[in-house]
Structure 1
Amino acid sequence: MHALINGQANSGNPIATILWEIKSSEWQHAAYLIGTCHVVGKSWLDQWKPVTECLSAADCLYTECFPSTTVNTPGLGYIKALDLLSSEQYDLLDAFFRERSGESEGLEHEEAKDISVVGMISAIKEMLIRKNAQRPFHQMDYELYQSFVHANKMTKALEYSWDLDFRPDDKAAAKSLLDVFVRQVHHAREWDTDRADSIIARTIAWYHSLSFNYALDEEAPSPEYAGTAVTVAERNRRWLPGIMHALPEGPTVVAVGIGHLFYNTGLVTLLQQQGLILLPVSLR
């Protein structure tokens, strides 16, 4: 995502949208792809009539991981985050969670003992953004999911939590990625949404700008893991069969982080390669 924000995919002729219509000669119903932002609320989407119309018309919503599950695939296992922490890292994170969530929410908490590496990374990121447990955390994907649940519409996840985590023989890679996010505790100002120059505030401003060159014919500048054991490109490839199976079934919306739409490894290009037509729906 940092590469996108820094302009590597933001030059050329920008497209003012996060919404793509998906068309096929094999079915007539509406289908759409939405690029979301995980740190912006659904209310931002609600200001755009084409977006609200496509959501209203859809019978099924696919998101990255909702409804979610924390059950691991039998036999595969996973790495517990606490097993990878040095004593200094343990003390740092323990103090961090106690300060932001309350004295009873440190690493001695029962839930922390079995948390996976990706689960710990997600918890660190969330608390860096929220600052404290009482502060609301607006998450567009989850709020979209909730809106479909409340409307008694179908919701499906493109992947499960175990799809993103490290296996027991991946300890070196798991430790390396976990270390990156443990160090972010020392750089909390970059996750402060109230600081206009922080990385997180720039991410939100970039998303709100609605000015994207999706660079659909270009290679991604470097592999991006974004806090998981799997690259963005690999996740896109894994999702493709499920999406292709779902689209002919009826009016469908696929809502995933906008970073999954860019470059020749993104979902826009992958779906086009399957013979589908993807048309950007301008929001300006």
Structure 2
Amino acid sequence: MERLFLFAMILLFNSSVTLGQESQSALWEISGKGLKKPSYLFGTVHIAPIAVFDSFPQLKQISQSTDFAIFESGGSPIGIIPEQIELHQPPLDSLFTPEEYLKVDSFFTASPHGSMRPHNNDADILTMVQVALTMIENKTQYDRFDDLIFAGVQELKKPVFHLDTPKDVKNVMDSLGYQRLAKFLVYLISKNTLLNEVNSELDIDLISYSKTLRNPLKLNENPSENFAHGTVERNANWIPKIEHQMQMGSCFISVGLGHLMFRTGLIQLLRNEGYTLNPVNL
């Protein structure tokens, strides 16, 4: 179960403790290579408290001042519309035992999200895990940190784009497995405890992140095999899309912090393409 927990968290958000300024900022300005206006790359921790956004008005201002916003999912595709792939998630009642189903349904019924029963045949188990993590970690918060940024940009009616293709999503789900995610969700709800208390190997410090928006990015290191499996190919596929959109105008690019990390992360990949990336001190 701990190995599943570690792998799932690697794909969901990834963060750590603090190091030097150059390698720990969560927000980076992108310039050079003929860009007329700078773009910004933000490494989010998906389950961070919503209060973080209001605590850093400069982040909110930047996210809403650019021409476009880019997220991992949501919005329109960039470039050629990818081939559609059906994910075929099994119904929820086939993923849980009756006892587990009742436990998970009771958890969501007690929240503003309500019972999962009406969505038995079309619910997204990965999103359910992320929502549960948010609820457990932040007690009174029921929406994910990323959703607030997304909503703020949409309110301004700015174009919003996404990076992941259906194939990317399918690969992630194939890696995690629907049954394994369901077991992980039951495990989270049964423990109902903070991530830091479940597995110290993750070195996640949400309090530090929330106060400083800093985490070590280990830009001169290579990722572990598990980490690489969930990020390296996706990062490489995202670069041409990000470049294309930045040439069209300034972009606010918000992706999981893990996608900025290591030599294979977006920071180093964009530098390899000739762009200048500098940390923004918030």
Question: TM-score normalised to the size of structure 1?
Answer: 0.74
Q: What secondary structure is seen at the aligned counterpart in 2 of 1:253? A: strand
2:152 maps to 1:147: yes
1:254 shift after superposition: 0.7
Which amino acid in 2 is paired with 1:216? L
C-alpha distance in 1 between matches for 2:172 and 2:66: 36
Correspondent of 2:36 among 28, 31, 39: 28
2:183 maps to 1:176: no
Unaligned stretches of 5+ in structure 1?
A: none
Tell me the residue number matched to 1:54: 62
Tell me the residue number matched to 1:259: 258
1:74-115: CA deviation from partner (whole Å, max 9, x where unpaired): 55342225223234432332333334458xx445x2212332
Which amino acid in 2 is paired with 1:235? R
Which amino acid in 1 is paired with 2:241? G
1:126 shift after superposition: 4.3
Q: What secondary structure is seen at the aligned counterpart in 1 of 2:254? A: strand
Which amino acid in 1 is paired with 2:262? Y
C-alpha distance in 2 between matches for 1:4 and 1:186: 24
Which amino acid in 1 is paired with 2:226? P
Q: What secondary structure is seen at the aligned counterpart in 1 of 2:108? A: helix
Q: What secondary structure is seen at the aligned counterpart in 2 of 1:247? A: helix
Change (3 A) 1:94 1:12: same
Change (3 A) 1:189 1:11: same
Correspondent of 2:189 among 185, 191, 211: 185
1:23 shift after superposition: 1.2
C-alpha distance in 2 between matches for 1:65 and 1:278: 23
Please say if residues 68 and 157 of structure 1, whose CA atoms lie closer than 8 Å, have aligned partners that are also in contact: yes
1:16 shift after superposition: 5.8
Change (3 A) 1:188 1:221: same
2:100 maps to 1:89: yes
C-alpha distance in 1 between matches for 2:156 and 2:40: 18
Please say if residues 62 and 157 of structure 1, whose CA atoms lie closer than 8 Å, have aligned partners that are also in contact: yes
2:25 maps to 1:17: yes
Tell me the residue number matched to 2:6: none
Tell me the residue number matched to 1:79: 89
C-alpha distance in 2 between matches for 1:51 and 1:254: 12
Tell which has more relative contact order, 1 or 2 (C-alpha 8 A, sep 6+). Answer: 2
Answer with 31-40 or 156-165: which moved more.
Answer: 156-165
1:56 shift after superposition: 4.6
Please say if residues 37 and 257 of structure 1, whose CA atoms lie closer than 8 Å, have aligned partners that are also in contact: yes
Tell me the residue number matched to 1:205: 207
Please say if residues 39 and 252 of structure 2, whose CA atoms lie closer than 8 Å, have aligned partners that are also in contact: yes
Answer with 58-67 or 175-184: which moved more.
Answer: 175-184
User: What is the aligned-residue RMSD (CA, Å)?
Assistant: 3.7
1:14-50: CA deviation from partner (whole Å, max 9, x where unpaired): 6563221111232221211112232335653455465
C-alpha distance in 2 between matches for 1:186 and 1:16: 34
Please say if residues 236 and 267 of structure 1, whose CA atoms lie closer than 8 Å, have aligned partners that are also in contact: yes
Please say if residues 19 and 34 of structure 1, whose CA atoms lie closer than 8 Å, have aligned partners that are also in contact: yes
C-alpha distance in 2 between matches for 1:198 and 1:205: 16
Instruction: Specify the structure having the higher radius of gyration (Cα).
Output: 1
C-alpha distance in 2 between matches for 1:163 and 1:248: 24
C-alpha distance in 2 between matches for 1:190 and 1:93: 17
C-alpha distance in 1 between matches for 2:172 and 2:52: 37
Question: TM-score normalised to the size of structure 2?
Answer: 0.75
2:119 maps to 1:125: no
Change (3 A) 1:31 1:117: same
The share of aligned pairs that are identical, in percent, is 23
Tell me the residue number matched to 1:37: 45
